Amino acid sequence: MPEPDRFLEDVLAGLRGEQKTLPCKYLYDARGSLLFEEICELDEYYPTRTEFDIMESSVADMAGHLGESVLLIEYGSGSSRKTRLLLDAMRAPAGYVPIDISGEILEESASAIVQRYPGLEVFPICADYLMPLQIPKLAKSVSRSVVYFPGSTIGNFRPEEALEFLNRVAHLIGEGGGLLIGVDLRKEPDVLRRAYDDSNGVTAAFNRNLLTRINRELAGEFPEEAFRHESFWNKDHGRIEMHLVCETACRVAVGAEFISFSAGESIVTEYAYKYEVGEFQSLASKAGFTPQAVWTDPEEKFSVHYFNVRQSHL
């Protein structure tokens, strides 16, 4: 759970802009995390299913690149379903550090990992992984640290933000460290649009839940029924955009401030950038990573990359 003051500060900062925004990380409270798990099971939402298939078919090769006695650090661990595939294939992992902003989901998934791998040191951290992190010391000897960042969440960052984030990861894991990361690929716009606006309305509920959360935790007064979910492909920027569109003019109280909306005005709640394989490798290289391997599905919808930190970068 974020600190209430920080949550309020971030919400108000986003709503004061000419184009109103809300940080996508706040979509993932307990209900939001459950709704996202439901989204991942939808026919239209290909990323999770495709990434899982890539993991199943190539996890032995991935584990070979990671090596033995590794400290595995997972950003945005969620249910850790894909992580279990990786841990099953790894050679004597030294420890596992799941990091997630949703404390309830984190506690459940970490407990399940402890039960499944009784000899593994597990140190769950409830935190925003965009903030400075301190990784705990393990009792076991660690050969090196590897960050696992599945789920194409890197696409939620603008390219300049992604570069800054990757730089922080490189410095966290240090010389000899590794990065295993899921990256969604560019494809037909219709496929992308359906993935972010499903026919069952689960994504719409997930998006509007952010307003429910603001009303509950920040004493907001959003008329939730006045906002509809909308997503579209922005070709110029290479990204899907998720919005909450206000259908009628209104004035909303959040904290001690009032925010005015005109009819048709929107709040951006998420960007989802899509990359070409070489394009993402070039971005990661600027942050000090050297590409080692990439795995894709037969239709090249999704990719999983493995990088090492260049010694000269740190």
What's the 3-state SS for the chain?
Answer: CCCHHHHHHHHHHHHCCCCEECCHHHHCCHHHHHHHHHHHCCCCCHHHHHHHHHHHHHHHHHHHHHCECEEEEEECCCCCHHHHHHHHHCECCCEEEEEECCHHHHHHHHHHHHHHCCCCEECCEECCCCCCCCCCCCCCCCCEEEEEECCCHHHHCCHHHHHHHHHHHHHHHCCCCEEEEEEEECCCHHHHHHHCCCCCCHHHHHHHHHHHHHHHHCCCCCCHHHEEEEEEEECCCCEEEEEEEECCCEEEEECCEEEEECCCCEEEEEEEECECHHHHHHHHHHCCEEEEEEEECCCCCEEEEEEEECHHHC
The answer as to whether 40 is a domain residue is no
Pair (279, 159) in one structural domain: yes
pLDDT of residue 314: 53
Pair (177, 280) in one structural domain: yes
Pair (157, 69) in one structural domain: yes
The answer as to whether 38 is a domain residue is no
Pair (165, 64) in one structural domain: yes
pLDDT of residue 216: 96
**Residues with pLDDT less than 50, the chain:** 1
**pTM assigned to the model:** 0.91
User: Per-residue pLDDT tens for 90-113?
Assistant: 999 999 999 987 777 888 889 999
Torsion of CA 101, 105, 108, 109, to 10 degrees: -70
Pair (61, 174) in one structural domain: yes
Pair (248, 297) in one structural domain: no
Pair (181, 200) in one structural domain: no
Pair (116, 151) in one structural domain: yes
Pair (197, 181) in one structural domain: no
pLDDT of residue 1: 47
pLDDT of residue 160: 96
CATH label of the domain that carries residue 295:
3.40.50.150
Pair (200, 66) in one structural domain: no
Radius of gyration of the chain (CA): 20
- Containing structural domain, residue 139: 46-187+275-313
How many Å apart are CA 65 and CA 270, to the nearest integer?
32
The answer as to whether 120 is a domain residue is yes
For tokens 């935790």, name the residue: 217
Q: How many domains does the chain have?
A: 2
Pair (244, 300) in one structural domain: no
The answer as to whether 41 is a domain residue is no
User: Per-residue pLDDT tens for 148-200?
Assistant: 999 899 999 999 999 999 999 999 999 889 999 999 999 999 999 999 999 99
Pair (20, 128) in one structural domain: no
The answer as to whether 137 is a domain residue is yes
